[in-house]
Structures are given as C-alpha cells and as structure tokens.
C-alpha cells in the first residue's frame, strides 16, 4: 500500500460521508477480443476485458457513471450493472438488478450508480444483471480495503496484483450455449488456453520468497465451479464473500460461480515456477496449460512450470469455516428458531423448458418490482411477477431451506442485499447455529441435501435470490424477497417519484433513475432479446 492510500484511509474513516472513493466512468461497448487467441465479439469496459479493478477504502462512497454505447444486438444493447456482494443498505435502487430495482440503461444513455457500502469491506465484483450479458464479458473485480483488518498482521502484500479472477469462456454467443455445452477455456485474470489452441502467455502471479500475500480469489464464471490449488503450496482462508472468517488451513478451494475467498499464500518454497490450477466441474485436462496460470518466484526463469504430482489432502469444507465477528446465526438456536421459515423447492419442468421455484418460473416483470412498490398501485400480494415475489416483514429472522437434486448438479444460490448464515451446508446433515460461516453465495447441494440459511430483514426493498449459473437465472431459477412492503410509507408528488420515503430506505428517485424506464419503454425492439 502507498502512503497516499493510508492517508486517504484515515481521512475517509473520519469524514466518510464526504469522501468519494470512485468518481469514475465505465464505458460499456462492443469489441473483438482474443484472450485465448480465438477472436470473438464481446463486451468490454473502458476498452478492456475483463473490466478494470474498482477499489475503495471501507466507508468510502462510490460514484460510477456507466455509459452505454453497445451496438451489437446479439448481446443486447441495453444493460445494467450489479455490484455483487454490496448490500446497498439505504440504496436499494442502486443494486443494478434489471426489472427488480431498475429498468436497463438504453444504448446511447448513461446512469450514475451512487452508493456508500455500510460497514463493508472485502472482496466483491461487478457484472451485468441483464439477460445473459455478463457471459459476453461485462464483469470485473471490486475490492474494499479495511485499514483495520483484523487479519492485517498475517500478510505483507495486498494490492491489485494479488487479485485472481477465474471465469469460463465460450467461443460462441451466450444464446447458443446449451446445458451440454462446456466452456472452451478457463481464463485466469483474462488469459487462458484452449484445447488445440496456441500456447499463448498465461497470467503470472509474481511473488518474492519469504513474503506473505493476501490472495483475493473471485469466481466470475457464468456456469463453472472450480477447485483451485497451487502446486506445492498451502493456504490459510480468512474471508468468504466479504465476511471475515477464523483462519483455516487448506490446500485446495472449491469456488462456485459468484463466490469469493481471501487466503494467505506464504511464498516459502524454492524459487521456481509453479502451476496455479483451476480444475472445473466438467471433463477437461491441464494439458498444454489449460485451466492454469503461473505462480512465479522472483528470480525464476520465465517459462511454464514443470509438471508436479500435487494431490490435495486438505480441501476446504464449508462447515469448517466460521464467522469471525458476531458468529451466531440470527434467531434462536434449533428448529423453529426463526420468525419466518420458507422451503424453496426448485424443479425442472420439461413441459415449458424452465425451472420452477415453489411452482413458479421467474420471468422479469415489465415494471421493476421497486417501482411497483413505490407507486403504490398494487397490494403487496399483487406484486409481479406472480408467484415469484415473497413479501417479508421487517426486523425478523428468516430461515430458508433450499433442497438439492435439480438437473445439472449443485446450484450456487446468491442473495442480494444481505449476507446470510449457512446453518446447514451442502454435503452435511449437521446444523450449526453457534458459529456458521456468513456469506452471500452458497451451494444448494445435490439430492438429499437440505441447505439452510438464515438472515435478518434489516434492509428494506426488493432483493433477488437466484441461482448464479446465468442460464439458470434466465430460465426462471429465482425469486424476489420484498422486505417491509406492507408498512412502507410513500410520498408521491405531482411531479412523480421525486420524494419517496420507504422505512429504512431513502430513495431519491429523480433525474436519471426516473428516466430509465421511459427510455427503455421507448425501445422499438423486444424487451429481452434485442437482436
């Protein structure tokens, strides 16, 4: 960290409300890219792929002007950006979820996302939350540093050079990917090789022998999960999805789409090159450097590593992770200890070719759920899409059970607006109410699993809960939790939504936010496929 970083940190912790961590512009456009030497059309951010790293210090304000200049209708010309893992307390309208909290940003227009993460630090990312768009490239890492990190004495280096992003990459348009389509490559920090392709340079994580590094690992994939390892090295996990954990020693990490981990890497091996391996959950190999990057010690030759037989013997198991701060799950320990209990059963319906949750397939409404609430024209029970909106009372403990067993294996479920306590993890039949891991994305497991999570309804507004395999979300594997709707107090002026009060949620719905839906409604093309 530079001296400027630390002086800015001190200032912002003192005057957080007046600090703008980022007053920046993200220009969303189309371009041809070749991260694995195969040229394809994609979406880039400020001309680059993946998108730039967004960084801030705990307590700082984000002001991000997203400018949409997309022209390729096969990837949709409208867009929205979700800040994955940011709870958006008091700023639900900035969550970036198309047709839940906003209408998409139309090509030729811009929108300023303006929010201050409340008491949050850690590893996050951002991506399009409109149709299948982030699979085409609209995604990037986002880090909030904490100068008072309780694990600070465990590492020497934590900067943008220690971020590792992993994603699946397809040589075809996202709309042409089917359930049986495997990715063509795995990209680590935007580089990778594919079967039969050339040996393009791989991403390199450079280390100095004797130093300790905080590695921030982000799965930005649309579908794949990975087992991450580094030949000859072990790790100490200290964070899961923006939540500090008790240090846990492991030698491999399974990471699902949408999940993030921080771990300490001790560069204590012989100076050399070592394979960084990301073994995906489909049939592939490491031949020719596929699914790989390189850990390179300073002084090592600049070449691919030699092969090593490195077998994991201590993989990360989610039940072994424990929240560092306020570890107890909300509610009373034991069955029946929550105020509201929901069992969300998801199935595949062959008749309509879509996923159902509790008998309904989520289809984006024509009016965003937040706008439906704010206009007050519908009773809470009438919020659209029908059957997919669950109204929840404020300041209560909610328990969700999410049985596994759906097609295509386990599913990574992500909750917007909250972190949750995983009181029963996939692969386990044990309930832990005392000190479970707290995070925002977890697997629902396989047949026989009954993954159970708890959270408090302390963040008013509509929040999406969905499978983070993007094609499954597109096929209806989602619901909306609308918190504190019945008790909301709305003020609508003659000028429209210019001054709106919503308990625990202040929405200043003026200017650009108000104009998003009229702009989007004016489009002559179809809403969900603009090709």
pLDDT tens-digit profile of 303-362? Answer: 999 877 889 999 999 999 999 999 999 999 999 999 999 999 999 999 999 999 999 999
pLDDT score, position 319: 98
Strand 292-297 with 273-280, pairing: antiparallel
Give residue for tokens 């300073």: 298
pLDDT digits (tens, 9 = 90+) for 87-125: 999 899 999 999 999 999 999 999 999 999 999 999 999
Residue 499, number of CB atoms within 10 A of its CB = 15
- Report the pLDDT value the prediction gives residue 497, as an integer from 0 to 100: 44
Judge whether residue 495 has pLDDT over 70: no
In this structure, the number of other CB atoms found within 10 A of the CB of residue 178 comes to 7
Residue 21: its pLDDT value, please? 55
The answer to whether 253 and 217 have CB atoms below 8 angstroms apart is: yes
Predicted confidence at residue 8, as pLDDT, reads 31
How far is the C-alpha of 5 from the C-alpha of 426, rounded, in Å? 40
Region of poorest pLDDT, from 116-120, 256-260, 507-511: 507-511
The band of 374, judged by pLDDT with boundaries at 50, 70 and 90, is confident
The span from the CA of 334 to the CA of 328, in Å, is 12
* Pair 258, 214: CB distance under 8 Å: no
SS3 content of the chain, % helix, strand, coil (to 5): 10, 35, 50
**Per-residue model confidence as pLDDT tens digits over 186-214:** 999 999 999 999 999 999 999 999 999 99
Percent residues over pLDDT 70 in the chain = 90
243 and 219 Cβ atoms separated by less than 8 Å: no
Residue pointed to by tokens 């399974």: 254
* CA-wise closest residue to 419 among 449, 377, 463, 385: 463
Total residue count of the chain as it appears in this document? 531
Residue 7 has pLDDT above 90, yes or no: no
Per DSSP (E only), the strands in 136-272 are: 139-145, 163-169, 185-188, 204-207, 212-219, 226-230, 235-240, 243-250, 253-255, 260-266
pLDDT at 488: 41
286 band by pLDDT with thresholds 50, 70 and 90:
very high
Per-residue pLDDT reduced to its tens digit, 259-282: 999 999 999 999 999 999 999 999
Using 50, 70 and 90 to split pLDDT, how confident is the model at 486?
low
| pLDDT at residue 154 is higher than 80 | yes
109 within 8 A of 518, measured Cβ to Cβ? no
Using one digit for the tens of pLDDT, what is the confidence trace for 292-317?
Answer: 999 999 999 999 998 778 899 999 99
The residue with tokens 């800040």 is 83
pLDDT band at 376 (very low <50, low <70, confident <90, very high): confident
Question: Coil, helix or strand for 521?
Answer: helix
In sequence order, what E strands does 338-468 have? 340-343, 346-349, 354-357, 389-392, 397-403, 412-415, 420-424, 438-439, 441-443, 450-456, 461-467
User: pLDDT tens-digit profile of 227-237?
Assistant: 999 999 999 99
């Amino acid at each position: 960290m530079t001296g400027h970083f630390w002086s800015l940190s001190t200032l912002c912790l003192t005057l957080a409300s007046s600090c703008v961590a980022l007053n920046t512009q993200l220009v969303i456009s189309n371009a041809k890219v070749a991260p694995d030497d195969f040229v394809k059309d994609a979406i880039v951010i400020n001309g680059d792929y993946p998108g730039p790293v967004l960084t801030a210090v705990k307590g700082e304000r984000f002001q991000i002007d997203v400018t949409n200049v997309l022209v390729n209708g096969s990837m949709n010309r409208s867009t929205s950006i979700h800040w994955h893992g940011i709870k958006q307390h008091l700023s639900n309208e900035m969550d970036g979820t198309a047709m839940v909290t906003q209408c998409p940003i139309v090509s030729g227009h811009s929108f300023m996302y303006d929010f201050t993460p409340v008491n949050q630090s850690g590893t996050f990312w951002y991506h399009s939350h409109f149709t299948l768009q982030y699979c085409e490239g609209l995604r990037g890492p986002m880090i909030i540093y904490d100068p008072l990190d309780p694990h600070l004495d465990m590492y020497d280096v934590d900067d943008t050079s220690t971020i590792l992003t992993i994603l699946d990459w397809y040589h075809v348009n996202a709309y042409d990917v089917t359930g049986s389509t495997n990715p063509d490559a795995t990209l680590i920090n935007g580089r990778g090789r594919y079967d039969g392709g050339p040996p393009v340079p791989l991403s390199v994580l450079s280390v100095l022998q004797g130093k300790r590094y905080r590695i921030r690992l982000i799965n930005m994939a649309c579908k794949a999960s990975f087992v991450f390892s580094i030949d000859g090295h072990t790790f100490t996990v200290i964070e899961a999805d923006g939540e500090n954990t008790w240090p846990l020693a492991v030698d491999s990490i399974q990471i699902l789409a949408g999940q993030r981990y921080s771990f300490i890497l001790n560069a204590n091996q012989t100076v050399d090159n070592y394979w960084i391996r990301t073994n995906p959950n489909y049939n592939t190999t490491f031949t020719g450097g596929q699914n790989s990057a390189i850990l390179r010690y300073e002084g090592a030759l600049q070449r691919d590593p030699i092969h090593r037989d490195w077998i994991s013997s201590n993989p990360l198991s989610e039940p072994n992770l424990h929240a560092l701060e306020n570890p107890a799950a909300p509610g009373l320990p034991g069955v029946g200890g929550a105020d509201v209990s929901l069992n969300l059963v998801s199935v595949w319906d062959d008749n309509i070719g879509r996923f159902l949750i509790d008998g309904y397939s989520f289809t984006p409404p024509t009016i965003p759920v937040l706008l439906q609430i704010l206009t007050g024209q519908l009773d809470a029970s009438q919020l659209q899409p029908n059957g997919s909106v669950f109204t929840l009372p404020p300041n209560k403990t909610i328990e969700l059970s999410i049985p596994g067993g759906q097609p295509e294996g386990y599913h990574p479920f992500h909750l917007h607006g909250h972190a949750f306590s995983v009181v029963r993890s996939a692969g386990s039949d044990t309930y832990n109410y005392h000190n479970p891991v707290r995070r925002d994305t977890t697997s629902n497991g396989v047949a026989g699993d009954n993954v159970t999570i708890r959270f408090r309804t302390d963040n008013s507004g509509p929040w999406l809960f969905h499978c983070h395999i993007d094609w499954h979300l597109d096929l209806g594997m989602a619901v909306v939790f609308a918190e504190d709707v019945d008790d909301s107090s709305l003020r609508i002026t003659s000028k429209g939504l210019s001054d709106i009060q919503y308990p625990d949620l202040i929405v200043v719905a003026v200017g650009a936010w108000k104009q998003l839906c009229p702009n989007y409604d004016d489009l002559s093309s179809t809403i969900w496929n603009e090709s």
